Structure 1
Amino acid sequence: MTKRVESKYKINRRLGVNLWGRPKSPINKREYGPGQHGQRRKNKPSDFGVQLMAKQKLKGYYGNISEKQFRKYYEEAVRRKGDTSENLIELLERRLDAAVYRLKFAITPFAARQLVNHGHILVNGRKVNIPSYLLRDGDAIEVKDKSKQLAVVLDAAQSGERDVPEYLEVDHRAMKGRFTRAPKLSDVPYPVQMEPNLVVEFYSR
């Protein structure tokens, strides 16, 4: 697993967006990039720059997935039938850590990854500690009994920052959920505009 040494919110400032839509993001106060050169006027990006930015946004949103793993998702999306950009989104949303985040069992994608890594999550009654585990339609996801009273889990479930999307079902009293179906791009509640078509263009150059 790739470790994040730098603050996760530096991604927001580097990309110039509030990637997770959080009120505590520093981009809400400082819309320029981090570092001593952050306030320099930026030139209009090239087509390559626009595509790269789209890739970095999508990669960063899911807890800053490693480049090697992200490329594998792209290659699998190409291999599958249908629209490659829609396939890419579906694969990312099928990740267990993404579902844990969507179900509001964790406040951020990084916290969701840690929750899975530390063995707090069950899939169909069995412990799964691999954040990139791909869920199937109908899979049941729940917080382990001993972990249901963790402050980080309770705080996330009670947070009003996000709503649970329609392709997931959740019971926050029981801390149980279900991945009901594959989402389309239009179903996914991104706080910022994601452009997976530009990511496909980036990799297909």
Structure 2
Amino acid sequence: MKITIYNLYKALKSKRALVILAGLFHMFSLSAQTPRKDSGANGSNPAQPVMLGFRVPEEFWSREFNVFENGKYIKQTLKKYRGKPLILDFWATWCSSCITKFPKVDQFRQIYGDRMNFILVNSFDTDTEKIATILTDEGAGGQPTKTASIVNDEYLKQLFPHQSVPIYIWLDEYGRLQASSTANFLNDYQIHAMVERSKGGKQ
């Protein structure tokens, strides 16, 4: 009788232990699947800044951006800019010195054609009507700029952090960050040098 009671006690104790273990396992499973507010698992984790000499992430080319081009807004990726040097021109509607540089960028686009890519990037403004007005009327000394502009950007500013504009981001044909410069660095000599390097550059 004593042996039976003891065996029953052991069995109950064992079942209780299993229930506790099962409960703990379930609790940790839920904990592992529920993201913390700071974990970034909800997709809001900021992009890591690109270091000098390193390539942009693959998402840079595949991510869809809101782009103003040829007088209208469209959704598009940067895939068509891949494989050639690219300059990102960060600007804002309140930055008059940014806007007065648009004709310079348009001129370089005309000179270098498909050997060099340029795109404007606005990471500061949310008023798409105001942006469109500047790009079509006020920009380029009263002439619409011919250079496309990414608008409502957050991602690119995370990749290339900056507080003031204009800022120019120079990427080589492999998407490696070569420089982050002010407007003074944006000249024919520097662009020509980058285009020439890309002809015989090694991956």
TM-score range, shorter chain: under 0.3
- When Rg is computed on C-alpha atoms for both structures, the one with the higher figure is 2
